[in-house]
A and B are shown apart, each in its own frame.
Chain A
Amino acid sequence: MGSYKDGKVMDQIRDFINMEGYGGYVWPSYLVTAGLMIILLVITRRFLKANMATLEALENTAKEDVE
C-alpha cells in the first residue's frame, strides 16, 4: 500500500522539480537570487562586526592612554 502512495508522492515531487521541462531555468534563477542576496547580507554583517571590533580595540587603547 505504502509504496503505491509513495510512488504517487515521488511522482509529484519529480513533476514539481521538473516543472514541465522549465525546471532548468526556474530553479537556477531562484537559487542564484537567494544566494546572491544572502551573500551580500553576510558580507555587510561581517563588515559591521569587524568595524565594531576595531572600534572596541581603539577605544580601549584610548582609555588606557587617558589612565
Chain B
Amino acid sequence: MLHRFANPTRFLRIASIAQPWIAWATILLAGTGLYLGLFNSPADYQQGESVRIMYVHVPAAWMAMFCYTSMAIAAGIGLIWKHPLADIAAKATAPVGACFTFLALFTGSLWGKPMWGTWWVWDARLTSMLVLLFLYLGYIALINAFDDPARGTKSSSILVLVGLINVPIIKFSVDWWNTLHQPASVLRMDGPSIDESMLWPLLLMALAFKTYYIWVLLVRIRAEIISNKIRILRLRQVHG
C-alpha cells in the first residue's frame, strides 16, 4: 500500500481531495465534543467543574505520545526504505507533536493549580511530558540545522530513533525518581472515576485532535513537496 502513495504528484492529488473532508470531520467532532464536555456532562464530585479541563488535557497528552511514535515510525520507514514521503511526514509531525506536548503541560498545570495550590509539581507524568517536549525541540532544531535538507532529514531520523529507545528508559527513571521525592500532598491526577457521560466527550475530543493532526499533516506535506520542487527548479537554473 505504501508504494501507491510513493509518487508525490499522485499524493498531491489525493491529498487535495481528502483535505476538505478531514477539515469538516475535525470541526464536527470538536464541536460535539466541546458541547458534551462543557454543557451536559456532570461535574466531578471531588474536583467540581475543574475536571472539564480533562477533556482537553488528556487528549493532548495522548496526542503528544502518538505524534512521537508516528514520527519515529515515519523516520524509520524513511531511513530504511528511503521513502521520500515518510521523511516529510516525520518532519511535518514534529511541530504538531510539540504543540500538543506544550498544550498538555499548560492545561496540566492549570488543572493542577486548584488541587495542588502550585502551578508546577514535579509529578512523574508532567516531568516526562516536559522531557518529551525537549526531545521534540531537539528534533526540530536538528532538522533545520543543515543547509542541505537531505542531511537534516537523515540526521534527525537517526536522532528520533535513538530518542524512541530512550523514551521508555527516561520514563522509567523519572517515575522512579518521582517516587523517591514523592511530596506527601500530591493527589492522584486521574482521580475522578470516568463515568459514561464523561467518556463520550473525552473520546470525541481525542478523535477530533487526531483528525486535526491529519489535516495539518496533509497541508504540511503538500507544502514540503512543493518546496522540494522549487529547490530542484532553482538548482536546475543554477546548473542549467
A–B in direct contact per CB < 8 Å: yes
A interface residues (Cβ-Cβ under 8 A, vs B): 19-23, 25-26, 28-30, 32-33, 36-37, 40-41, 44-45, 47-48, 51-52, 54-55, 58-59, 62
Give the interface SS of chain B, mostly helix, strand, loop or mixed.
Answer: helix
CB-defined A-B contacts under 8 Å, sample of 30: A19-B49, A19-B52, A23-B49, A25-B110, A25-B114, A26-B49, A26-B50, A26-B53, A29-B53, A29-B56, A29-B106, A29-B110, A29-B111, A30-B53, A30-B56, A33-B60, A40-B95, A40-B99, A41-B216, A44-B220, A47-B220, A47-B223, A48-B220, A51-B230, A52-B226, A55-B229, A58-B234, A59-B233, A62-B233, A62-B237
Interface of A is mostly: helix
Interface residue? B151 (CB, 8 A): no
Q: Which residues of A contact B34 (CB under 8 A)?
A: 30
Interface contact B113-A25, CB-CB below 8 Å: yes
Residues of A within 8 A of B226 (CB): 48, 51-52, 55
Q: How far is the CB of A5 from chain B (nearest CB, A)?
A: 20
Q: Does B68 contact A (CB under 8 A)?
A: no
CB distance from B108 to the nearest CB of A (A): 9
Inter-chain contacts of B113 with A (CB < 8 A)? 25
Among B103, B219, B234, contact of A48 (Cβ-Cβ < 8 Å): B219
CB distance from B239 to the nearest CB of A (A): 14
Shortest C-beta distance, B62 to chain A (Å), equals 14
CB distance from B213 to the nearest CB of A (A): 10
Query: A5 vs B212: C-alpha distance in the bound complex, in angstroms?
Result: 40
CB distance from B189 to the nearest CB of A (A): 14
Alpha-carbon distance between A51 and B222 when the two chains are bound, in angstroms:
9
Q: Are A40 and B223 in contact (CB under 8 A)?
A: no
Which 4 pairs from chain A and chain B are nearest by CB? A19-B49, A48-B223, A22-B50, A29-B107
B103 contact from A19, A33, A51, A58, Cβ within 8 A: A33
